[in-house]
Amino acid sequence: MSGWAKTGIVLVVLVVIVLILRVTVLKPQPVKVQVVEAQNGLVENTITNSKAGTVKAFRRAKISPEISGTITAIFFREGDHVEKGAVLVQIDDSQYRASLELAQADLAVAEAQQREACMAADQAKREFERNRKLLRDGVASQEKVDLLEDAYQRAQAACTSGQAAVERARAAVTSAEVNLSKTKVLAPFSGIIAARNAEIGEIAMPTSPALPVPPILDLLDAESLYVSAPMDEVDVAKIQVGQPIRITLDSHKDRSFTGKVRRVAPFVLDVEEQNRTVEVEGNFDQPPENLYPGVSADIEIILEQTEALRVPTYALIEGDSVFVVENGVLEKRAIQTGMRNWEFVQVLSGLAAGEWIAVNVDRNSLKAGTQVETEPWQP
């Protein structure tokens, strides 16, 4: 065999080896991608608050006594549910009970004195009228009749004064009864004790603007909870009272809660000139248990919704494009989209139900034509 023939055989063998290596060892390994199927489902057009909102309560009472005294009993702890009219706190009532007893005794004296004065007035009246008749008959003198009339008027004045004294004494009794009743601090409405700021044996006093004393208890109506959140001013025209909302809470991250817009503030907050907002308030359809004012919350207002072909909003790349997996190869495809929110975007054209879309975290580094190995998307 000639040298050229041997060389040719060697070259052929080398080419075959290279081809084998290219389709085996040197073959590019498929890129692993997570995929999601384009499916029909609910798509919503929503807007959300620009900064964190806050849970608040329509009915919340900072409870302090109306009178001063030593606390002898506090009947509830933080977190306890109370009914309207329940006794929350007992103030030492010995002083107020003694004041009532004294007022009742004064009333009894005033009533006795009034009865005596009025009986005397009746007697003076009868004596005056009898002698006035005798005067007409010529038996009594004018001087005596004048003296009896003067006595009658003084007695009648004493009776009237006695009646006024009785009214004052009754008012004092009523005032003492009211003060005694105030030693029992009652729940103004049914709710939950959110805070307890006093203990038995401490002195309780009424609070006032001039003397701001911390309240004994903080009572809130758990059924009156709502969320107040700032919305960007550009979205204000889209928001209306009664629109459905979805509420998410930092304290209840495992679920969301439905509700409705209850109020849109009539003015724009311009504290931050570059970030002007409008306060929007939303009610819960059913607030969760163990929720308290002050918890951070977000409101998502649902402007419109429809059943349509959809893909996760997260799948979009470079505007309105997606990577479609066809026979193990990536195909970059432009799609026409409709309404969207943070979760899903409506597909108007460019995709069909059942096609698989790549949703890798690093999908922007992927290229069309790349061979891929797929696995289900794990949100």
- 22 located within any domain: no
For residue 82, being part of any structural domain is answered with: yes
Whether residue 234 contacts residue 296, with contact meaning beta carbons closer than 8 Å, is answered with no
277 CB-near residues (< 8 Å, 6+ apart): 50, 51, 230, 231, 232, 233, 268, 269
Q: How many domains, in total, are found in the chain?
A: 3
Q: How many CB atoms lie within 10 A of CB 12?
A: 10
15 is a domain residue = no
Q: Give the Å distances, CA to CA, from 219 to 64, 187, 225.
A: 11, 8, 13
- Asked whether the predicted pLDDT for residue 1 surpasses 90, the reply is no
308: domain CATH number? 2.40.30.170
The answer on 231 and 119 residing in a single domain is no
pLDDT above 70 (res 370): yes
What pLDDT is stored for residue 356 in this prediction? Answer: 92
| Residue 17, in any domain of the structure | no
Domain coverage including residue 139: 94-181
**Strand extents, DSSP E, 52-190:** 53-57, 60-63, 69-74, 81-82, 87-91, 184-186
The span from the CA of 23 to the CA of 336, in Å, is 38
Return the pLDDT at 71. Answer: 95
Specify whether 196 is located in the same domain as 174.
Answer: no
Residues 331 and 301 in one domain: yes
Shared domain check, 192 and 226: no
Cα distances (angstroms) measured from residue 298 to each of 32, 240, 276, 301:
35, 17, 17, 10
Residue predicted with more confidence, 125 or 177: 177
CB 301 within 8 A of CB 241: no
What confidence score (pLDDT) does residue 121 get? 85
Residues 149, 121: Cα–Cα separation, whole Å: 11
pLDDT at 7: 64
pLDDT tens digits for range 28-51: 677 788 889 999 999 988 898 888
Q: Give residue 25's pLDDT.
A: 46
Q: Is the pLDDT of residue 147 over 90?
A: no
Does 286 share its domain with 320? yes
C-alpha 86: how far from chain center = 23
| H, E, C per residue of 149-162 | HHHHHHHHHHHHHH
302 and 353 in a single domain? The answer is yes
Residue at 103 is within a domain? yes
Q: pLDDT-derived band of residue 130, with 50, 70 and 90 as boundaries? A: confident
% pLDDT > 70, the chain: 90
Q: Is residue 170 located within the same domain as residue 285?
A: no
| pLDDT of 12 strictly over 70 | no
Buried b vs exposed e over 223-255: b needs ≥16 C-beta within 10 Å?
A: ebbbbbbbbeeebbeebeeebbbbbbbeebeee
- The model's pTM is 0.62
CA distances from residue 141 to 131, 144, 146, 153, 336 in whole angstroms, order as listed? 8, 5, 9, 19, 122
- Could you tell me if 173 and 239 lie in one domain? no
